Chains A and B, each alone.
Chain A
């Protein structure tokens, strides 16, 4: 199943999706009332007041310039503008062997995302190693171990309370010895305003920088229900270890994850993957065009 159909399968459950809201306002004229409604539609998907304002200003100006009259033309224009924003964030292909660290605040779905991505990489005939770097949360490594069994990949783990840097070091040693293509590193969820926890993350990153010679990426996992605080998360994590991509999880609810527009605008960080359901294969590559087409 492709991204589009996955996303729609997710959105289908949604009673008042953006799409239906937009369709209901895409009647009548492009007057102030219309733009006000559009504004609320965009804001309700967590795009944020500022980004929404900019999108609307741009669409408004272009609609006037191009003398747009019909609903379909307007939709096409709106999509183009929104896709452009997402495309501004430059995306780099992974080079194997690659090590990806998953960071984020508590409860966004880091461990689950790793479980699914392990399955995905394995389906692409890559050899995968999981590293249970979350030594803090109760039973986090048990949870990851369960995923490693489901995905059929190897895992390196320590007991709870161990030093995450040491687990990562061991993981890298093991990955080098077995010549793994992909190393997926789980980290403990941490609120970005906790200085000591962010320091710990920096330390993990330092170990990786020193020991790992292949491609190294940090992905920030963001829950689609997150509001404007996501920007604060991106800023702090990016400052701490440098963020190369976003994994947007839990998009199968009623939340739209519109915050990725503001993230692309402000920080130029691309969305890499999207989590859209409960199953092991419910994670897909992000495609800006299909993402936007899927929602407006």
Chain B
């Protein structure tokens, strides 16, 4: 959030006087730790987790390497990033599938976290993977909740089992028999939103758990949750021993520090995240990307760029790989728009690279409205066209322009931009072109 300025800016300021001396004093480290603490808190990382992290980072920063390094600021950022990534974990965990079907998934969470929508998304994802899911409506409290699940079920073409306002535990048990008879191999149970401190409702969940013995108990958490995320996750975990977490509404602009807190406190993996309004908008969770997001990746990029010689080969390779992975089809391009929006200063960054200016990365690339229009253009392409941009000719362009409510000129401009970016990325990553990433 621009509101509070970026961590790297603040750190640069703290260390600005150091460039000549290149040695950190205790006071400077203390100031730096204060900035890191505030940055993490503003990203909604829980304060106890922050306290712990900062003391670890502080310890590493007082080491010889940082104290005597030429660019202590960059070194510190690097350490912060490393610590965050370590805490988040590096591999994404998959859904456990029961050896003997059906696989039973019990969904739980606070009111409004997005459970019902997520049930539909999970069902659609599993269907695509060749499973036969059944949705079970166990939210008997919120008005029209069963109806909502039915509408969701219909939109993903998955049957919804319900027994009206019958006891959720009974409905859940009966649904298993129903699933067995009808040959469903995954049962997703939607439950009412509840407060982690409501004993009565937590007992209801425990009863369901006892009765159906779920393969997965997934806690759905709103990614915008603040300091309370820890209390909520602990509450559910203590009562139910959850198997994983789903983070919703990650398509917003939250930094999502809650993710870090939940992982740190419960040790349970975050398995999926919701990234949009559509039923396809579900993604496996990538912990390493979350660390970047909490830190505000754009800043890190700038700093790494500035750090140049100071960053080791391995780090540079990881960075190059990120670029390579992101640069090929319109599908990647589409995914990149969201990241670009977060990075903000990518055009500045690219302009720093010698030779990049000839590609004229215009400022429109990061204008939010323009991004929305560009997204609409790509979304109006068929999946085949997205993967094979060469096939987009006059008539396709006309259709795409009409479908996205834009003009052929705009479609052309986007395609041109796409090829330019692609070219740029290629040259940067193979290092054989006129320029390469300077580290």
Contacts and interface: CB of A to CB of B under 8 A. Distances in A.
B44 A49 contact: no
Contact of A227 (B38, B224, B231): B224
Interface string A157-173: 00010000000000000
Interface residues of chain A: helix, strand, loop or mixed (majority): loop
A107 B3 contact: no
Interface string B1-15: 101100000000000
Interface string A208-227: 00000000000000010111
B147 A255 contact: no
Nearest to B371: A195
Nearest to A141: B144
A48 B42 contact: yes
B299 interface: no
Interface string B134-165: 00000000111101111110010000000000
A202 interface: no
A14 to B, nearest CB: 7
Interface residues of A, number: 54
Interface in B1-52: 1, 3-4, 37-38, 41-44, 46-47, 51
B203 interface: no
A142 B144 contact: yes
B110 interface: yes
Given A107-B114, A225-B228, A15 B197 contact: yes
A138 B112 contact: no
Given A46-B227, A225-B232, A259-B226, A139 B148 contact: yes
A229 interface: yes
A196 B404 CA distance: 12
Interface in A37-60: 40, 43-46, 48-50
Interface stretch (B84-92, B245-253, B351-359): B245-253
B372 A195 contact: yes
A268 interface: no
B111 interface: yes
Interface in A116-143: 136-140, 142-143
Interface stretch (A66-74, A81-89, A246-254): A246-254
Interface in A147-191: 147, 150, 160, 191
A44 B149 CA distance: 35
A107 B253 contact: no
- Counting from the closest, the 8 A-B pairs by CB-CB distance are A227-B226, A107-B112, A146-B143, A138-B151, A227-B44, A142-B144, A139-B148, A255-B228
Interface of B: 1, 3-4, 37-38, 41-44, 46-47, 51, 110-114, 116, 142-145, 147-152, 155, 195-198, 222, 224-229, 231-232, 235, 248-249, 251-255, 257-258, 277, 341, 368-369, 371-372
19 contacts: A43-B41, A46-B227, A49-B37, A50-B38, A109-B111, A138-B116, A139-B150, A140-B144, A142-B148, A146-B144, A191-B253, A195-B371, A227-B225, A229-B1, A232-B1, A253-B196, A255-B227, A256-B228, A266-B3
Given A107-B114, A143-B144, A227-B257, 6 more contacts: A108-B112, A143-B145, A193-B252, A229-B253, A250-B110, A254-B235
